[in-house]
Amino acid sequence: MANPPPSAAQGVNRSPTAGFLLACFLIAHFFWNLMVPAHEYPMRTEQVLTMTFDFMMVVGLFGFRRVLPAPLFWIALLAGIGLFAFRLSAHGWWTGHLTYSLLPR
């Protein structure tokens, strides 16, 4: 009575759906931060968590590199790097957006 080997031992089968959603979310998040100006500075905790989540999504993208189409992978990778490029300005460091403006009172 031998037990058959588990299917996971034969190889990891990754679904492209999760990778596709991750890539689409990175691209959409990039375009949101590109087009929508920030109107207030977030708390320090939110700033650090946002940067951590962005970094982890870029790292996670490499796990789906083989199941994603190459152009989608590279566009999502550039979008993820672009999210950190926005943080090179004074206001962008805090907000993560390309532009910053105060709402009129």
Tell me the Ramachandran region of residue 63: left when phi exceeds 0, alpha when psi lies from -120 to 50, beta otherwise: alpha
Taking the model in full, what pTM does it have? 0.82
Instruction: Tell me the per-residue pLDDT of 21-37, one tens digit each, with 9 for 90 and over.
Output: 999 999 999 999 999 99
Note whether 80 and 57 are within 8 A (CB). Answer: yes
Give strand pairing partners of 85.
none
Assess whether pLDDT exceeds 80 at residue 13.
Answer: no
For 56, the token pair is 């982890």
Instruction: Tell me the per-residue pLDDT of 50-91, one tens digit each, with 9 for 90 and over.
Output: 999 999 999 999 999 999 999 999 999 999 999 999 999 888
Reduced to 3 DSSP states, what percent helix, strand and coil does the chain have, rounded to the nearest 5?
A: 65, 0, 30
Task: Say which amino acid occupies 82.
Answer: G
- Region of poorest pLDDT, from 2-6, 14-18, 52-56, 59-63: 2-6
Note whether 79 and 29 are within 8 A (CB). Answer: yes
